[in-house]
Amino acid sequence: MIWRIRIAQRHVPSGPNHGMKTAQLFAIAAAFLAGSATAAPPGHAFQDKAVENYDIRSENEQDTPSGVAAYRARVATANPTATPAATSTPTPTPTPSEPKTLNISTRLRVETGDNVLIGGFIITGTAQKSIAVRGLGPSLAQVGVSDALADPTLELHVSNGGITLVESNDDWQDNAFQAAQLTALGLGLPDPRESGLVALLDPAYSFTTILAGKNGGTGVGLIEIYDTDQTAASELANISTRGFVRTGNNVMIGGFILGGSLNTHVVARGIGPFLANYGLSPVLADPTLELHDSNGALLVANDNWGDAPWAQQLIDLGLAPPDAVDPGIYISLPPGPFTAILAGKNNGTGIGLIEIYNVH
E-strand ranges in the chain read 101-110, 117-125, 129-136, 152-159, 163-169, 195-201, 206-213, 219-227, 234-245, 252-258, 264-271, 287-293, 298-302, 328-333, 336-344, 350-358
Flag whether 253 is in a domain: yes
- Greater confidence (228 vs 99) lies with 228
- Convert the pLDDT of each residue in 304-348 to its tens digit: 999 999 999 999 999 999 999 999 999 999 999 999 999 999 999
Q: Provide the pLDDT for residue 58.
A: 36
What residues make up the domain containing 351? 101-358
- Greater confidence (107 vs 91) lies with 107
Flag whether 53 is in a domain: no
Flag whether 92 is in a domain: no
Q: Provide the pLDDT for residue 52.
A: 33
Flag whether 1 is in a domain: no
Q: Provide the pLDDT for residue 162.
A: 83
- Read off the pLDDT band of 21 (50, 70, 90): very low
Flag whether 88 is in a domain: no
Average pLDDT over residues 252-274: 92
CB 148 within 8 Å of CB 39? no
Flag whether 283 is in a domain: yes
Domain count, the chain: 1
Residue 48 has pLDDT above 80, yes or no: no
- Greater confidence (236 vs 66) lies with 236
Flag whether 298 is in a domain: yes
What CATH number is associated with residue 138?
2.60.120.510
Q: Name the pTM for this structure.
A: 0.72
Q: What share of the chain in percent tops pLDDT 90?
A: 64
Flag whether 235 is in a domain: yes
> Across-strand partners of 265?
332
- Convert the pLDDT of each residue in 151-185 to its tens digit: 999 999 999 888 899 999 999 999 999 999 999 99
- Convert the pLDDT of each residue in 58-78 to its tens digit: 334 344 444 433 333 333 333
**CB-count exposure of residue 317 (10 Å: 0-12, 13-18, 19+):** middle
Q: Provide the pLDDT for residue 237.
A: 83
Strands 336-344 and 219-227: unpaired
